[in-house]
Structure 1
Amino acid sequence: MSEKKVKNYTAEFKESAVKLAVESDKPVTETAQELGVNANTLHTWITKYHRHKVANQPRKNDEHVYDEVKRLRKELKILKEEHAILKKAAGLLCKRKSLKFQFIKDNQERFSITAMCRVMSVSTTGFYDWCSRPESNRSQEDRALKADIRVIHEKHRQRYGERRIKDDLADQGKNVSRQRISRLMKEEGIVCKTKRKFKATTDSRHNKPVAENLLNRNFKREQPNEAYAGDITYIRTREGWLYLSVFIDLHSRAVVGWSMRDRMTASLVTDSLVMAMWKRRPTEGLLVHSDRGSQYVSESYQKLLKENGFICSMSRKGNCWDNAVAESFFHTLKAELVHHEDFQTREEAKQAVFEYIEVYYNRQRKHSGNGYLAPFKYEQKIAEAA
Structure 2
Amino acid sequence: MSNSKRYTDEFRAEAVKQVIERGFTVVDVASRIGIPKHTLYGWVQTAKKTMPAAGATVAPSESAEIRRLKAELRRVTEERDILKKGRRVLCQGVRAKYAFMRAHAREFRLVAMCRVLGVQRSGYYAWLRNGASVREREDQRLLSLIWLASGGIYGYRKITLDLREAGERCSRHRVLRLMKAEGLHAQVGYGRKPRHRAGPVGGVTNVLNRDFTPQAPNTVWVTDITYIRTYEGWLFLAAVMDLYSRQIVGWATAPTMTSDLVLQALVAAAWRRKPGPGVMVHSDQGCQFTSSDWQSFLKAHRMVPSMSRRGNCHDNAVAESFFSVLKKERIKRRIYPNRATAASDMFDYIEMFYNPIRRHGSAGGLSPVEFERRYAQSGN
Q: Which residue in the other structure is 2:334 paired with?
A: 341
Shift of 1:59: 2.4
Does the CA-based 8 Å contact 1:254-1:376 persist in structure 2?
Answer: yes
5 Å matches for 1:145-224?
Answer: 207-224=200-217
Pairing partner for 2:6 from 5, 8, 14: 8
**Partner SS state of residue 14, structure 2:** helix
Give the secondary-structure state (helix, strand or coil) at the position aligned to 2:248.
strand
Aligned to 1:358: 351
Q: Does structure 1 residue 331 correspond to structure 2 residue 331?
A: no
Deviations 1:124-180 (CA, angstroms, capped at 9, x unpaired)? xxxxxxxxxxxxxxxxxxxxxxxxxxxxxxxxxxxxxxxxxxxxxxxxxxxxxxxxx
Quote the residue 1:46 is aligned against: 44
- Residue 291 of structure 1, aligned match among 284, 288, 308: 284
Partner of 1:133: none
- The SS at the match of 2:51 is helix
Name the SS of the counterpart of 1:216 in structure 2. coil
Q: Which runs of 5+ in 2 are unaligned?
A: 58-196
Question: C-alpha separation between the residues in 2 aligned to 1:5 and 1:310?
Answer: 23
Among residues 233, 241, 251, which one is paired with 2:244 in the alignment? 251
Q: 1:269 to 1:334 in 2, by over 3 A?
A: same
Counterpart amino acid of 1:18?
V
Residue 89 of structure 1: aligned partner: none
Unaligned residue ranges in structure 1 (runs of 5+): 61-203
* Residues 362 and 375, structure 1, Cα contact 8 Å, conserved in 2: yes
C-alpha RMSD over aligned residues: 2.4
Q: 1:263 aligns with which of 235, 243, 256?
A: 256
Shift of 1:205: 11
Cα displacement (A) at 1:14:
1.0
Alignment-derived partner of residue 281 in structure 1: 274
Is the contact between residue 202 and residue 292 of structure 2 (CA under 8 Å) also seen in structure 1? no
1:376 aligns with 2:373: no
User: What's the CA shift string for 1:268-322, capped at 9, x where partnerless?
Assistant: 0011001110110111111000000011011111111000100100000000000
Aligned residues: 240
Deviation at 1:19, TM superposition (A): 1.7
Higher Cα radius of gyration: 2
Q: Deviations over 1:193-238 (max 9, x none)?
A: xxxxxxxxxxx99842201000000000110000000000000011
> Closer, same or farther in 2 for the Cα pair 1:205/1:365, shift >3 Å?
farther
Q: Quote the residue 1:129 is aligned against.
A: none
- Identity over aligned pairs, percent: 40
Compute the displacement of 1:23 (Å): 0.8
Partner of 1:174: none
For 2:56, the equivalent position in structure 1 comes to 59
Distance 1:5 1:214 in 2: 34
Deviation at 1:6, TM superposition (A): 10
Q: Determine the structure 2 residue equivalent to 1:96.
A: none
Give the Å deviation of 1:362: 0.6
Q: Distance in 2 between matches of 1:368 and 1:303?
A: 36
Q: Secondary structure at the match of 1:337?
A: helix
- In structure 1, give the amino acid aligned to 2:320: E
Paired residues of 1:206 and 1:294 also in contact (CA < 8 A): no
Map 1:308-319 → 2, pairs under 5 A = 308-319=301-312
What secondary structure does 2:332 align onto? helix
Cα deviation for residue 46 of structure 1 reads: 2.2
Please say if residues 20 and 351 of structure 1, whose CA atoms lie closer than 8 Å, have aligned partners that are also in contact: no
Q: Within 5 Å, give how 1:102-141 maps onto structure 2.
A: none
Does residue 230 in structure 1 map to residue 223 in structure 2?
A: yes
Matching residue's letter, 2:42: T
Question: Aligned partner of 2:24: which letter?
Answer: K
Superposition map of 1:89-108 within 5 A: none
**Mapped contact 2:26–2:41 kept (Cα < 8 A):** yes
Q: Provide closer, same or farther for how the CA distance between residues 223 and 364 of structure 1 changes in structure 2, counting only shifts above 3 A.
A: same
- Distance verdict in 2 for CA 1:288–1:10, change over 3 Å: same
Secondary structure at the aligned position of 2:347 is classed as helix
TM-score in terms of structure 1 length:
0.59
